[in-house]
Chains A and B, each alone.
Chain A
Amino acid sequence: MSELMEYKCPACGGKLEFNSGTQNMKCPFCYSEFDVAAVQEFNHAVQSSDESLMTWDSSAGGEWGAGETAGMNVYHCESCGAEIVTDSTTAASKCPYCDSPVVMTGSFAGDLKPDYVIPFKLDKKAATEAYNKYLEGKRLLPKIFRSDNHIDEIKGVYVPVWLFDAGADANIVFKAEKENRWHDNEYDYVETSCYSCVRAGKIAFEHVPVDGSTKMEDKLMESIEPFDFKDVVKFETPYLSGYLADRYDVTAEESIDRANERIRTSTIDTFRDTVKGYNSVTTESADIRLNNSKAKYALYPVWILNTSWNGNKYTFAMNGQTGRFVGNLPTDKGAAVRWFAGITAVCTAVLYGIQFLLNR
């Protein structure tokens, strides 16, 4: 009975061979030599943390009660395909995402009932003020955009999000390097010492949101985060009054990958912060296992502002709870060139003058 053992080179990942002369493990690819015990420990740590287990209980949302959806209407946007839900007191005429006309397709039915909602805390006036303030101090914003631009419609939309809660058990291997530099008369020397740093522990995340609508751009929704869960309430239909609500078209299962990516990134970052005293730290492997993981369905408040300029559409969003305002603005390329040339000219003159005075 024989078992072929293979050890990975910590430096280049190649297959190591035992060097009988030095009694060390030697890499035939990068010619590095390692102590046998160090190689065993490194390979054991990496192998035991090669696979992550990130599964979820995604049974989010509830069933609507009898009569709860009776006064709710669904509007369809022929242009982008968005489906907007309103209560009987709120009429929708334009799509909040693409500003195209919407048509009522009938009464609301099906779908899951949201578990939670964060009610709007800021009104339309606050959104308009935030937009005007956002345009201030932007030196490269085309002046004509500022003067000609009028936001025709500002819409308060409840955007569907899936909220992920989980505890994470992590076992992460980092590769860290320490540098020591010196020189003699002929050479500069850089000595790099490489270490394997194993960190294990626990961390938990609460209410990590993932956008449940394809119509709401994911980046736009993430840019207005964070939402504060302290204001969350159990969902009731009266909260929709006066606002639009988007229907989810991305399921909880489809949102898991993004939730895992965000949790994994922050878990690794948190453990990396404990690796101290090195010049550089890289992640070698990460085993992250989730526990008590569950998803919930919620509606988050967003003010959406659309405008067109020079044939392009610009969408801005404001967090309806915290007031955080985001949106990409056009750049005045001429102004950018003028600023670049101006700063270059002034700095050149000043630096030249300083050099002249110092050498007098």
Chain B
Amino acid sequence: MNIRKILAAVLVPAALMIPFSVIGTGTAVQSPMNVSAAYCEEEDFPVLDMAEAADYDIAAEETVRTEKEKKEFSPARAFVISLIISLIIAGIAVGVMISKLKTVRKKHGAADYKKEGSFVLESSHDSFLYKKTNKTKRSSS
């Protein structure tokens, strides 16, 4: 009886896991080439008219331009940006270190001495006073 129970406890979960492990293995061995080949077999490529082809050309040109811009790396600009950010980080870090040396400070209020449960809000009223709108011209990109 006990042996049956043990076998059931081991084999049932193992059996339930089999389909998942098979799918997992299958996915792992399938190469990208096989996938694209299968896609090519299943799907037909759409036939484009001239206008659609022109749109594709423009899109392709834009992609090339973006990549060109990406490749135009300016060392001086990158260094200045890095330096400015680093100066700010260093200033904050050293400021924190200095503040650890100075612990004598005036207390802001008496929050530590509030009587527990003594705060009662008896009235709360918000009323609209006025509205103002500021507009600033956007910088042209």
Chain A interfacial positions (CB closer than 8 Å to B)? 10-11, 32-34, 38-39, 41-42, 137-141, 167, 175-176, 183, 185-209, 217-220, 222-223, 225-226, 259, 262-263, 265-266, 269-271, 274-275, 326-331, 336, 339-341, 343-349, 351-352, 355-356, 359-360
* CB 8 Å contact bits of B109-141 with A (1 = contact, 0 = none): 111111100111111111111111111111000
Which chain B residues lie closer than 8 Å to A331 at the CB level?
Answer: 98, 101
Other-chain contact of A344, B90, B125, B137 (Cβ < 8 Å): B90
Known contacts A191-B133, A192-B131, A359-B71, A205 near B97 by CB under 8 Å: no
CA A259 to CA B110, docked complex, whole Å: 8
Known contacts A183-B138, A186-B138, A203 near B119 by CB under 8 Å: yes
Contact A195 B78, beta carbon cutoff 8 Å: no
Whole-angstrom distance from the CB of B89 to the nearest CB of chain A?
5
Contact A340 B131, beta carbon cutoff 8 Å: no
Other-chain contact of A194, B93, B94, B107, B129 (Cβ < 8 Å): B129
* CB 8 Å contact bits of B76-118 with A (1 = contact, 0 = none): 0011011101110111011001101111111111111111001
Contact A339 B73, beta carbon cutoff 8 Å: no
CA A206 to CA B98, docked complex, whole Å: 34
Assuming A206-B113, A220-B104, A336-B97, what are 20 further A-B pairs, CB within 8 angstroms? A34-B130, A38-B128, A140-B100, A167-B118, A183-B138, A189-B134, A196-B127, A198-B125, A204-B114, A206-B114, A208-B110, A209-B113, A225-B112, A271-B121, A328-B102, A340-B91, A343-B89, A344-B83, A351-B82, A351-B86
Closest to A338 in B: B94
Contact A274 B86, beta carbon cutoff 8 Å: no
Contact A343 B93, beta carbon cutoff 8 Å: yes
Whole-angstrom distance from the CB of A230 to the nearest CB of chain B?
12
Contact B138 A188, beta carbon cutoff 8 Å: yes
Contact B104 A219, beta carbon cutoff 8 Å: yes
Contact B137 A187, beta carbon cutoff 8 Å: yes
Closest to B89 in A: A347
Contact A138 B133, beta carbon cutoff 8 Å: no
Residue of B113, B123, B125 most packed against chain A (CB within 10 A): B113
* Cβ contacts A to B, 5 pairs, < 8 Å: A186-B137, A189-B135, A201-B122, A203-B114, A336-B94
Other-chain contact of A265, B110, B118, B126, B133 (Cβ < 8 Å): B110
Which chain B residues lie closer than 8 Å to A193 at the CB level?
Answer: 128, 130-131
Which chain A residues lie closer than 8 Å to B101 at the CB level?
Answer: 138, 140-141, 328-331
CA A141 to CA B104, docked complex, whole Å: 16
Whole-angstrom distance from the CB of A208 to the nearest CB of chain B?
4
Chain B interfacial positions (CB closer than 8 Å to A)? 70-71, 73, 78-79, 81-83, 85-87, 89-91, 93-94, 97-98, 100-115, 118-138
Whole-angstrom distance from the CB of A305 to the nearest CB of chain B?
13
Closest to A187 in B: B135
Which chain B residues lie closer than 8 Å to A263 at the CB level?
Answer: 109-110
Known contacts A226-B113, A343-B89, A351-B82, A199 near B133 by CB under 8 Å: no
Closest to A189 in B: B135
Contact A219 B106, beta carbon cutoff 8 Å: yes
Which chain B residues lie closer than 8 Å to A138 at the CB level?
Answer: 97, 100-101
Which chain A residues lie closer than 8 Å to B103 at the CB level?
Answer: 223, 326-328
Contact B127 A42, beta carbon cutoff 8 Å: yes
Contact A195 B138, beta carbon cutoff 8 Å: no
Residue of B79, B104, B122, B137 most packed against chain A (CB within 10 A): B104
Other-chain contact of B123, A200, A219, A327, A345 (Cβ < 8 Å): A200
Which chain B residues lie closer than 8 Å to A34 at the CB level?
Answer: 129-130
CA A189 to CA B132, docked complex, whole Å: 10
Other-chain contact of A262, B93, B97, B110, B122 (Cβ < 8 Å): B110
CA A26 to CA B101, docked complex, whole Å: 53
Known contacts A195-B128, A196-B126, A203-B118, A359 near B86 by CB under 8 Å: no
Known contacts A204-B114, A208-B113, A356-B73, A140 near B98 by CB under 8 Å: yes
Residue of B86, B115, B130 most packed against chain A (CB within 10 A): B130
Contact A340 B90, beta carbon cutoff 8 Å: yes
Contact B105 A188, beta carbon cutoff 8 Å: no
Known contacts A347-B82, A348-B83, A352-B78, A218 near B106 by CB under 8 Å: yes
